[in-house]
Amino acid sequence: MTAAFPLTITLPVAAAPPSLGDNTADLDRLKAACAAALPPELAGSPLRVPFARMASLAAQFRAAGFKGWALAHNLPGQIELIDFLPEEPQQLPGIALDLGSTHLEASLIDLRSGRTLARRTALNQQVEYGADILTRIYFAAKEESLRQLQQAAVDSINGLTAQLCREAAVLPEAIRAVVIAGNTTMAHLLLGLSAYHLCREPYTPLFNAADPFLAAAIGLRLHPQAMTWLLPSRGSYFGGDLIAGILAVGLDRTEQPAMLIDVGTNAEVVIGGGDWLIACAGAAGPALEGGVARMGMRAAPGAIEQVSIDRENWRLTWRSIADAPPVGICGSGLIDFAAELYLARIIDLRGKFQAEFPGQNAAQRQFVQERLLRRGDETAFLLTEGVSVNQTDLDAMMRSKAAMYAILETLTAQVGLSFGELERIHVAGAFGEHISPRQAITLGMLPDLPLERFQPAGNTSLAGAELLLRDSGCWEQAKAVCRRITYLELNVNQDFMIRFSGSRFIPHTDPGRFPSVSVFR
Amino acid sequence: MTAAFPLTITLPVAAAPPSLGDNTADLDRLKAACAAALPPELAGSPLRVPFARMASLAAQFRAAGFKGWALAHNLPGQIELIDFLPEEPQQLPGIALDLGSTHLEASLIDLRSGRTLARRTALNQQVEYGADILTRIYFAAKEESLRQLQQAAVDSINGLTAQLCREAAVLPEAIRAVVIAGNTTMAHLLLGLSAYHLCREPYTPLFNAADPFLAAAIGLRLHPQAMTWLLPSRGSYFGGDLIAGILAVGLDRTEQPAMLIDVGTNAEVVIGGGDWLIACAGAAGPALEGGVARMGMRAAPGAIEQVSIDRENWRLTWRSIADAPPVGICGSGLIDFAAELYLARIIDLRGKFQAEFPGQNAAQRQFVQERLLRRGDETAFLLTEGVSVNQTDLDAMMRSKAAMYAILETLTAQVGLSFGELERIHVAGAFGEHISPRQAITLGMLPDLPLERFQPAGNTSLAGAELLLRDSGCWEQAKAVCRRITYLELNVNQDFMIRFSGSRFIPHTDPGRFPSVSVFR
């Protein structure tokens, strides 16, 4: 275990003042003092001073009597001196950011103590130019539009940074490092780079791994020498957010095979088995993330996240996030609800509403009659005043759950594993936080494994960005992960299509795979 | 002997186009192709792409069908890709520049063939703000004045570059590397950095070694990614021009002790002995460079550079540079002339005019009477119509020659050598080109050694800059030279003062040191 050094480091430096016997120049004196102050793990790294900082560094070092604290970027293969302070800095704030297509989430972290000073989310202002990524890619075809999208992302980050700074009483100019994890399209748009080829066969990004660059180069309002580190991507559909996730849950270092599931616009899944990593992504997410279901919404206050139907007394209860007045249903709520509907036999194994079925009792019949309403051509189940779920919503959910299971199955089969061999299944994001694995198993969306194997992992994209901010060693680790990952393309995968068809039943065409789930014929 | 690579290199690259089986991003594909194309000596160097070039490099590589020629800066410890061309470039022009306080001299060199395409000199426009360096340092005390001096240097370089480019039919935007050698003050002013401490004890520069930086950062009009390499300095009075000179004459690699003499505003002298280098600088130059003598001028057309007095028939002949009408006398001309005056006994061993002396013949007396004229308080010797040398001029010359000899003697003694042990004495610049070592020995300015040991070395500052431009290995070599040099401070050196007094006679207080010179008592 080697020591971890953050992306920007502080070096206590002290040098003898110049004399006739040693009139080494101020900057060269500073460099020598910094070289002497480097920890053993970084010793011998070449020290650079960016042109723009030569005058101020020399002046500050001299003014401080040739001793104080140097701040330096811990870049790959070199140390770049960017600042000098006469007193030991109490804090050295940095930003870790998950740049999502809809939301940003960021932490303000003190690189000296490792402490999180503040954490917040904000909307991605790019949404104004298109809710989904494909719309933005098409929009970005014009240079001017690309600039607008870039500016929207930059504005979003600047706004969120300003909020974090206010909260922690830190000046944005004090921030000298920012780590950003986002999907490949977000990364391209943030850098103002063409995303044209991302969505066109053979889905080639303009870049996978960007070298660290000045935050000012894209208009981030931080310290003028603040460096931006962008988590590298594996491909058009496997971005830096996922690479960050792999680092965050340690999938590249696991001894037993484990899985990471990240459901966003796509469902992205990785299995790591110690010396290998395999990944794929597929369109399983929309219905689960509020993108398709009519009443769907993101997991946010007022979203119904949990539903239960008491099948003795035929009463329905629900809970909304933050106990706020209900305004819609989030992905995990929909899964919960659909599982309850299935167990109450209000939907059949195809996910279709059924008002009646053989052997139905009177209480169930009355319950259904009160809530299953016909509206025009559509049947909808009334969850509570103003929130209902109709057949279209359920159909979308069924496609998503089928896609999810087919993805998991295809990927696992690809490496010759059974689900049972997965020691742990990390479920990232709001989906992982809110979903009930039990209900997802009931629907046949997640494999029928002991519940303790499912682990909510939180925002793994942000967590990975935080890791890198605190430990520069993660930079090479992230690049190594990119090189190691085998990416399985599902678009052209016949097995996936067959598995998808087999998964469009509750729990599955082959119920033997779900021994814990009741099957109603 | 390892291969030499210029500061900017061309790499032939070829990669398979992206496919579903390999959809590595364009830039990462280019980097991989470049890594594969690196010569063995550079293999494994990390490859970087500056942020500003990401979009264009990817687009150019793609447009060219993923094959062509990459241009890269061969930076210390890393390769920076800056351009991509579909066709093999016929030329890769770079600039080597000697940034003198009065004049600039530059070469335009093709880095692919090593060929010199053009060479030119220009005035340093800083002269407008002060002929001598101290005036400029004082002037630069105000930030605004410092900017003016910087701009004057930048304008001078841009102007000279434009001329070179026109001459060689090259576009300035095609130039991707510029190497600049100048004294420490010139280097500071060019970078817009305070020169305040350079002339104040303990004479500490703001920087000795600047890391390579973008030429655009100081306003040089070249390729937007052109890199500037500034030869490092050893101290306030031993600049990158001298370090370049040491490289140029190979003083850091000589097997037998050898010396480099560079006479500019100061006389700067270095002795190299294989594993050691010792240097000093002193004010020996002005009278020799046209800075003090009333009729003095730089070695330029119209400067009298050679004088002889026929001591049989008492006729004086002279030659001017380029055979132009005489307008003054340059340093080498003054030395030549003074030696002739001494041999003709028109000046005595103190360098004072004497109209008469014991044993004088009539012809000599008549010669002197015609030419040695009294003008007011001053005696002047008429060289030709409009050009004369007076006692003040001679006195200045005598101080310079004494200082020069004392410097050479002090430095040689410091390392325990006698002059005879110096295998070669490289004499740089116009001084080296025009001076007659025989006459300088007669005056007691240069040691009494066989004439073939004195070697005119040309503009060694420019030659060293050219070496670096063609061979990036010279960068570390130059820095190593800076570390190895022992700098002898003459300002506080008692031995030097004693030797200076002893040298204020022709040839010397101790004529035994100059067996080849006639001594007249």
| Best of B53, B211, B220 to mutate (most A CBs within 10 Å, chain A) | B211
Q: What is the ipTM of this complex?
A: 0.93
For the beta sheet containing B378-384, the strands, ordered from the edge strand earlier in sequence to the opposite edge, are B372-375, B378-384, B387-390
**3-class secondary structure per residue, A200-235:** CCCCCCCCCCCCCEEHHHHCCCCCCCCEEEECCCCE
Domain A8-85 in CATH 3.10.20.880? The answer is yes
B366/B371 Cα distance (integer angstroms) = 9
A26 contacts chain B (CB < 8 A):
yes
Q: Considering only CB atoms, which chain A residues are within 8 Å of B27?
A: 206-208
pLDDT of B292: 45
Instruction: Give the list of residues 6+ apart from residue A393 with CB closer than 8 angstroms, or none.
Output: A287, A292, A293, A294, A295, A296, A334
pLDDT, tens digit (0-9, with 9 covering 90-100), for B203-220: 999 999 999 999 999 999
A78 contacts chain B (CB < 8 A):
yes
Q: Considering only CB atoms, which chain A residues are within 8 Å of B217?
A: 51-52
Q: Are A95 and A106 in contact (CB under 8 A)?
A: yes
User: Are residues A49 and B235, on separate chains, in Cβ contact within 8 Å?
Assistant: no
**Distance between A76 CA and the closest CA of chain B, angstroms:** 9
Determine the distance from the C-alpha atom of residue A149 to the mean position of all C-alpha atoms in its chain, rounded to a whole number.
20
Determine the distance from the C-alpha atom of residue B452 to the mean position of all C-alpha atoms in its chain, rounded to a whole number.
22
Q: Considering only CB atoms, which chain B residues are within 8 Å of A48?
A: 211
Q: Which CATH number describes the domain made up of A93-240?
A: 3.30.420.480
A24 contacts chain B (CB < 8 A):
yes
pLDDT of B298: 72
pLDDT, tens digit (0-9, with 9 covering 90-100), for B120-153: 999 999 999 998 889 999 999 999 999 999 999 9
pLDDT, tens digit (0-9, with 9 covering 90-100), for A185-219: 999 999 999 999 998 989 999 999 999 999 999 99
CA distances (Å), origin B498, targets B86, B392, B407, B487, B510: 67, 23, 11, 20, 13
User: Are residues A26 and B206, on separate chains, in Cβ contact within 8 Å?
Assistant: yes
Beta bridge partners of residue A424, listed in sequence order: A258
pLDDT, tens digit (0-9, with 9 covering 90-100), for B278-327: 999 887 655 555 444 456 677 788 999 899 999 999 999 999 999 999 99
Q: Are A104 and A163 in contact (CB under 8 A)?
A: no
Instruction: Give the list of residues 6+ apart from residue B444 with CB closer than 8 angstroms, or none.
Output: B401, B405, B503, B505, B506, B507, B508, B513, B514, B517
Q: Which range (A241-245, A421-425, B372-376, B400-404) has the least confidence?
A: B372-376
Q: Please compute the mean of the pLDDT values over residues A429-450 and round it to a whole number.
A: 92
pLDDT of A291: 44
Query: Looking at chain A, how many residues does it have?
Result: 521
User: Are residues A25 and B207, on separate chains, in Cβ contact within 8 Å?
Assistant: yes
Kindly report the backbone phi and psi dihedral angles of residue A87, in degrees, each rounded to the nearest multiple of 5, phi listed first. -110, 155
A210 contacts chain B (CB < 8 A):
yes
User: Are residues A208 and B489, on separate chains, in Cβ contact within 8 Å?
Assistant: no
User: Are residues A25 and B233, on separate chains, in Cβ contact within 8 Å?
Assistant: yes
The pTM for the full model equals 0.93
pLDDT of B291: 44
Residue B445 has pLDDT above 90, yes or no: yes
A183/B296 Cα distance (integer angstroms) = 72
B18/B33 Cα distance (integer angstroms) = 13
For chain A, which residues make up each domain, given as ranges? Answer: 8-85, 93-240, 283-458+491-521
Q: How sure is the predictor about B408, in pLDDT bands with cuts at 50, 70 and 90?
A: very high
User: Are residues A26 and B205, on separate chains, in Cβ contact within 8 Å?
Assistant: yes
Using DSSP, state whether B515 is helix, strand or coil: coil
Q: Please compute the mean of the pLDDT values over residues A126-140 and round it to a whole number.
A: 93
A462/A465 Cα distance (integer angstroms) = 5
- Beta pairing class for A116-123 and A103-110: antiparallel
Q: Which of residues 220-249 of A touch B (CB under 8 A)?
A: 233, 235-236
User: Are residues B208 and A27, on separate chains, in Cβ contact within 8 Å?
Assistant: yes
Using DSSP, state whether A376 is helix, strand or coil: coil
A59 contacts chain B (CB < 8 A):
yes
Helix A460-470 to helix A473-484 angle (10° resolution) is 130
Residue A292 has pLDDT above 50, yes or no: no
**Distance between B50 CA and the closest CA of chain A, angstroms:** 7
A206 contacts chain B (CB < 8 A):
yes
Q: For B25, which of A18, A52, A207 is closest by C-beta distance? A: A207
Residue B235 in tokens: 């101290």
Tokens 């002013």 found at: B189
Query: Looking at chain B, how many residues does it have?
Result: 521
Q: Considering only CB atoms, which chain A residues are within 8 Å of B23?
A: 202-205, 235-236
Beta bridge partners of residue A307, listed in sequence order: A318
Q: Please compute the mean of the pLDDT values over residues A427-448 and round it to a whole number.
A: 92
Q: For A51, which of B23, B197, B217 is closest by C-beta distance? A: B217
User: Are residues A206 and B55, on separate chains, in Cβ contact within 8 Å?
Assistant: yes
**Distance between B132 CA and the closest CA of chain A, angstroms:** 22
User: Are residues B46 and A76, on separate chains, in Cβ contact within 8 Å?
Assistant: yes
B301/B283 Cα distance (integer angstroms) = 26
Sign, CA dihedral A496-A501-A507-A510, equals negative
A18 contacts chain B (CB < 8 A):
yes
**Distance between A488 CA and the closest CA of chain B, angstroms:** 10
User: Are residues B204 and A78, on separate chains, in Cβ contact within 8 Å?
Assistant: no
Q: For B49, which of A25, A211, A236 is closest by C-beta distance? A: A211
Sign, CA dihedral B492-B493-B496-B500, equals positive
Q: Considering only CB atoms, which chain A residues are within 8 Å of B56?
A: none
* Per-residue DSSP letter, B207: -
